[in-house]
Amino acid sequence: MTNQNSCDDMLIDRCEPEAPKQKQGASLPNEFNSHYLKVYYGRLFPYADIFRWISYGNDGKHPACDSSYVSRREFSFTLDNDIYLRFLSFNSAAELESKIKEKCPFKIDIGPVYSVDPTKRNAYAQSGDNVFAPVERELIFDIDMTDYDDVRYCCSGADVCLNCWPLMTIAIKVIDFALRDDFGFKHILWVYSGRRGVHCWVCDGKARRLTNEQRAAIADYFRVYKGNENSSKKVSLTGHALHPFLATAYTKVLKEFFEKKLLVSQSLLSTEERYEKILEMIPDAAITSELRGRWQENRRSSSMKEDINVVRWEQLKQLLQSGKHKLSLMLTYSSLHAQGLRRCVEEIVFCFAYPRLDMEVSKHMNHLLKAPFCVHPKTGRVCVPIDPNQCEQFDPTTVPTLSQLLDELNERGLRDDVDGEWKGTSFGNAVSLFRSSFLQPLLKASKDS
Whole-angstrom distance, CA of residue 270 vs CA of residue 263: 9
- For residue 391, what pLDDT is reported? 97
Q: Which residues contact 283 (CB under 8 A, 6 or more apart)?
A: 233, 337, 340, 341, 344
Q: Specify the CATH class of 6-222+358-448 in words.
A: alpha beta
Q: Which of 8, 9, 59, 74 is catalytic?
A: 74
Question: Would you place residue 305 in the very low, low, confident or very high pLDDT band (cuts 50, 70, 90)?
Answer: confident
Select which of 9, 95, 144, 347 is catalytic. 144
Among 34-38, 90-94, 297-301, which range has the highest average pLDDT? 90-94
pLDDT at 4: 41
142 labelled catalytic: yes
Beta carbons of 177 and 190 less than 8 angstroms apart: no
Residues in the chain, overall count = 449
Q: Which residues pair with 109 in a beta bridge?
A: 76, 370
The DSSP letter of residue 193 is -
Kindly indicate the confidence band of residue 342, based on its pLDDT and cuts at 50, 70 and 90: confident
Q: What percent of the chain has pLDDT over 90?
A: 68
Instruction: State the average pLDDT over residues 42-60.
Output: 93
| Cβ 47 vs Cβ 101: under 8 Å | no
Q: Which pLDDT score is estimated for 123?
A: 80
Whole-structure pTM value: 0.88
pLDDT attached to residue 30: 56
CA atoms within 13 A on the CB side of 204: 11
Where in the chain are the domains?
A: 6-222+358-448, 244-353
- Name the residue type at position 153: Y
The predicted-structure confidence for 306-339, as pLDDT tens digits, reads as follows 899 999 999 999 999 875 554 444 434 555 566 6
Angle made by CA atoms 110, 114, 115, in degrees to the nearest 5? 170
Confidence of residue 64 (pLDDT cuts 50, 70, 90): confident
Name which of 70-84, 283-297, 409-423 the model is least confident about: 409-423
Active-site option among 95, 142, 176, 204: 142
Q: Residue 447's pLDDT is what?
A: 80
Q: List pLDDT tens digits, range 89-136.
A: 999 999 999 999 999 999 999 999 999 999 988 887 666 666 889 999
Annotation marks residue 419 as catalytic: no
Q: Which residue has the higher pLDDT, 7 or 426?
A: 426
pLDDT digits (tens, 9 = 90+) for 235-268: 878 777 899 999 999 999 999 999 999 999 999 9
C-alpha 413 chain-centroid distance: 35
How much is the pLDDT for 321? 81
Residue among 373, 349, 343 at smallest CA distance from 250: 349
Mean pLDDT in residue range 76-98: 95
Q: Residue 382: is its pLDDT beyond 90? A: yes
Residue with more model confidence, 68 or 3: 68
